[in-house]
Structure 1
């Protein structure tokens, strides 16, 4: 066997080592608030409000990050990530972001759309043949739909697939019978199980929140030929410097995760141990709708890329026109506005992965027209205001899902713009 000379081996080592991520991707450039048109005095009101909510035991702790004009102007952590062990919330604390995963999966889909590997008007069954016999619930039974759900329907949540809360008892029972999310099964196994559940209505007729983005993650897998986690690592997380984001994390990083607390909304927080995912070697289910864990800094970099119309640190991830389509309302007619049981979000539509404020109403009263964003089951939130060049992320781990922190901080942050 021919041996490689030591000098040659040493010369090769830099090429064989993992590429160093550019500093511009790992760290957003910082600026003092006044240099980008924000009042540092008014931003201090954010500190006071978060402390107030912690003192009232409405939340255990939180992290808040704000960028303006592409510059980081605010990044603070408050309270505790683990009350019982008195562990502080830190800037590198890792959060279960649940449905904030959806925007990332949507961006991954649009990368494949740009490459011609996925088309928005393609039927779902083109990528997931398990759905060739998709059915819709009509007049108390499952029948063939007039049209197939498309990739666009999945992105807009107009496909008719739910989380099992349609309000139609027979249909919701079929969803429960198909089984819950199981982190030990593959995405392919999940698709096979859920393909037996009919749509709640003909595709495009209404807006319904549910498993659509999980199915979208499976589309990404089939169209790219790679596991969803690998595709996200290669095309988004690694080039964006999102080093602490993934479906599974090493044990040392899992130690940095914040504990989940249940709030009775009257000043009592109870430790919650029954979480859907462990983010460990057990986690085979790459849930494109809710399976990621991340830090506030990692997620802010992803959002800044979107706010920059698809570019960050000199690297282009998506075309400007693609981001414009993602962040404009795509809903019309009976699909408007988006709604949940007992929660109609008047004046709010949905794009290709984000909700979008299209008119002033009592819902999201402090929001700006054109503002887009979303949140996660543990009361994590983000919003982007294009007209203000503003990106805001708030992280906590509180059940049940609540707009408490977003609603408390949003008017203060907008009022800090001078």
Structure 2
């Protein structure tokens, strides 16, 4: 514990000097709090310091919660991973795919197979995020411009009208698959996605500050977002908070949650301990193992080639450590987790019963620099 303090504290302090306005980290192993510190500011202009109850936009760390929630319904026998998605969300029946001939001429034709529910978990559905490189991305970008005005069921139906980027199950592409998974949760549970998460995960685990919207009584605890210029100047970003306002119907399964470092640590601890924390079971040990198993084949692994994920495969909504030597990583095979757009990050290691949650609010996040160094220091400091 002392070694962790000696190594991690100067690292985090150094980042605040050059990067985010503030950052926080919590490390728990075998149920024991090993490290919890925060440095810098939640609001640089007001000199408001980060606190344990500071609320952060966790963006894609929402995906881990969404996938865990869907697996709770899997454990109840409400679906199987290889089931065609159209059996539950009929809007995805007979999907179309964009194709190109040898001369680069684009056309659409029926997909070679249905989207399986597993394809949503593993980002192999052919759904994408918005962008400009592919026609699927372009149409998704246009559709997502007002996504925060749609509930998750309406979003799913809108996404189903866009031809896929590839035949389901053939490639890996980061995208809106987990938003559609949230729509599946609504259909299977008969509840809104937010209500399901609140009743089945947040309330049982005592995650009282985790939600899709920021209430007035908690607004002063929301960490400010900053854009970082190339020369390190931090500029407040107030343009991305529409989805969090009271009255917004959008509950994104891919990126919508707000949380505190303490709340998310309880969720991470539960998974690190095989799905159970303080007598509250959200998943079985065997289902957590399935979640943290690589599900990608060779072509899909080749698609999943982000530099900071070298040595990792991809499981049911999470990166999964496969090859420590390939990634130059001193961690455990089977370690899993994910990161958020603004730099939040979770590491879950059932073998060591270790969980790490890191929070910051900065764009770009400097994720490829920060997260591997956090991992190296933490694993290098435990017995």
TM band (smaller chain): over 0.9
SS at match of 2:299: helix
Query: What CA distance in whole angstroms lies between the structure 1 residues aligned with 2:56 and 2:183?
Result: 24
Matched, 1:335 2:296: no
Q: In structure 1, list runs of 5 or more residues that go unmatched.
A: 1-32, 34-39
Query: What CA distance in whole angstroms lies between the structure 2 residues aligned with 1:181 and 1:366?
Result: 43
Q: More displaced, 365-374 or 310-319?
A: 365-374
Query: What CA distance in whole angstroms lies between the structure 2 residues aligned with 1:214 and 1:172?
Result: 15
Query: What CA distance in whole angstroms lies between the structure 1 residues aligned with 2:271 and 2:238?
Result: 34
Matched, 1:174 2:139: yes
Matched, 1:395 2:359: yes
Q: Are 1:183 and 1:282, in contact at CA under 8 Å, matched by a contact in 2?
A: no
Query: What CA distance in whole angstroms lies between the structure 2 residues aligned with 1:115 and 1:234?
Result: 16
Shift of 1:279: 1.9
Matched, 1:49 2:36: no
Q: Are 2:130 and 2:142, in contact at CA under 8 Å, matched by a contact in 1?
A: no
1:33-72 C-alpha deviation (Å, 9 max, x unpaired)? 3xxxxxx13422211111112123x110011000111221
Query: What CA distance in whole angstroms lies between the structure 1 residues aligned with 2:232 and 2:245?
Result: 32
Query: What CA distance in whole angstroms lies between the structure 2 residues aligned with 1:409 and 1:103?
Result: 20
The aligned counterpart of 1:162 is 128
The aligned counterpart of 1:245 is 210
Q: What pairs up with 1:224-239 in 2 under 5 angstroms?
A: 224-239=189-204
1:173-221 C-alpha deviation (Å, 9 max, x unpaired)? 2223334253232112212221111211111111110000000000000
Matched, 1:118 2:118: no
The aligned counterpart of 1:142 is 108
Q: What pairs up with 1:293-332 in 2 under 5 angstroms?
A: 293-332=258-297
Query: What CA distance in whole angstroms lies between the structure 2 residues aligned with 1:257 and 1:93?
Result: 6
Q: Are 1:337 and 1:349, in contact at CA under 8 Å, matched by a contact in 2?
A: no
1:368-403 C-alpha deviation (Å, 9 max, x unpaired)? 422211100001111122333221110000101322
Q: Are 1:338 and 1:350, in contact at CA under 8 Å, matched by a contact in 2?
A: no
Equivalenced residues, count: 377
Matched, 1:370 2:334: yes
The aligned counterpart of 1:380 is 344
Query: What CA distance in whole angstroms lies between the structure 1 residues aligned with 2:198 and 2:358?
Result: 23
Q: What pairs up with 1:68-87 in 2 under 5 angstroms?
A: 68-87=29-48
1:358 to 311, 317, 322: 322
Query: What CA distance in whole angstroms lies between the structure 2 residues aligned with 1:364 and 1:99?
Result: 25
Aligned-CA RMSD value: 1.8
Q: More displaced, 111-120 or 292-301?
A: 111-120
Shift of 1:356: 0.6
Q: More displaced, 344-353 or 187-196?
A: 344-353
Shift of 1:366: 4.7
Shift of 1:278: 4.4
The aligned counterpart of 2:228 is 263
The aligned counterpart of 1:19 is none
Q: Give the direction of change, closer, same or farther, for the CA distance of 1:345–1:317 in structure 2 (3 Å limit).
A: closer
Shift of 1:74: 1.0
Q: Give the direction of change, closer, same or farther, for the CA distance of 1:280–1:54 in structure 2 (3 Å limit).
A: same
Query: What CA distance in whole angstroms lies between the structure 1 residues aligned with 2:173 and 2:47?
Result: 40
Q: Give the direction of change, closer, same or farther, for the CA distance of 1:268–1:91 in structure 2 (3 Å limit).
A: same
2:182 to 217, 237, 247: 217
Shift of 1:282: 2.8
Tell which structure's C-alpha radius of gyration is larger: 1
Q: TM-score, normalised by structure 1?
A: 0.86
The aligned counterpart of 1:8 is none
Q: TM-score, normalised by structure 2?
A: 0.93
Query: What CA distance in whole angstroms lies between the structure 1 residues aligned with 2:318 and 2:144?
Result: 27
